[in-house]
Amino acid sequence: MNVYRIAEEDGEKILIYDNEKIKVLIDESSLKKRIKELGSMITSDYKDIVPVLVSVLRGSFIFLADICREIRIPVVFDFMAVSSYGNSKVSSGIVRITKDLEFSIEGREVLIIEDIIDSGRTLNYLVKNLKARNPRNIEICALLDKNVPRKTKNSVKYKGFDIPNKFVVGYGLDYAEKYRNIPFIGYIENEQYL
């Protein structure tokens, strides 16, 4: 049966699919609570501005949908899609834009909505690319920040959670396009592919 199955193991909720066990790292209520807090911070920081929320497809679509409803000011939405070349497990740092923004961001306040920062290379590239279009300001809102050593640091103004260096799925994040629609952030117990 091609259905996610929820089970319990050692008193903890797990999800089973395709013989893989997904353990909960951040549950639904913790996500909801933190996103509400981030939304309030953004609301008060941007209360006299209409920011452009730039979201990076596809991983951040669920985070965007939830956080935008906690932001109580008018906002403009725009989307980009990027793909990293090379080895799929480790980002190469070479990023290609596969879908660009629809609107000009010149003179605008841009808030990038990202799902996860791993090596930080995707975000670095994006910030550099967007800065060249002369926005008034660019800030970053990222749901997850992985604990990995990085050469270059991005200052993330709105951060959801620091997480350990594990490959996570769910809440928009995938492994080989699977698991995006799991409602929590989890990790695959046997990370045999890493």
Catalytic site positions: 118
Q: Which amino acid is at 108?
A: R
Cβ neighbours for 28, distance < 8 A, ≥ 6 positions apart = 183, 184
Q: State yes or no: residue 118 binds ligand IMP (CB under 6 A).
A: yes
Q: State yes or no: residue 167 binds ligand IMP (CB under 6 A).
A: yes
Cβ neighbours for 48, distance < 8 A, ≥ 6 positions apart = none
**Of residues 39, 59, 120, 170, which one binds Mg ion by CB under 5 A?**
59
**CA gap 1, 55 in Å, rounded:** 34
Q: How many residues bind ligand IMP (CB under 6 A)?
A: 15
Shortest distance, position 74 Cβ to ligand IMP, whole Å: 27
Stretch binding ligand IMP (CB under 6 A), from 9-17, 34-42, 104-112, 121-129: 121-129
**CA gap 7, 16 in Å, rounded:** 7
**CA gap 16, 115 in Å, rounded:** 23
Which spans of this chain sit near ligand IMP (rule: CB under 6 A)? 59, 91, 115-123, 167-169, 173
Which spans of this chain sit near Mg ion (rule: CB under 5 A)? 59, 115
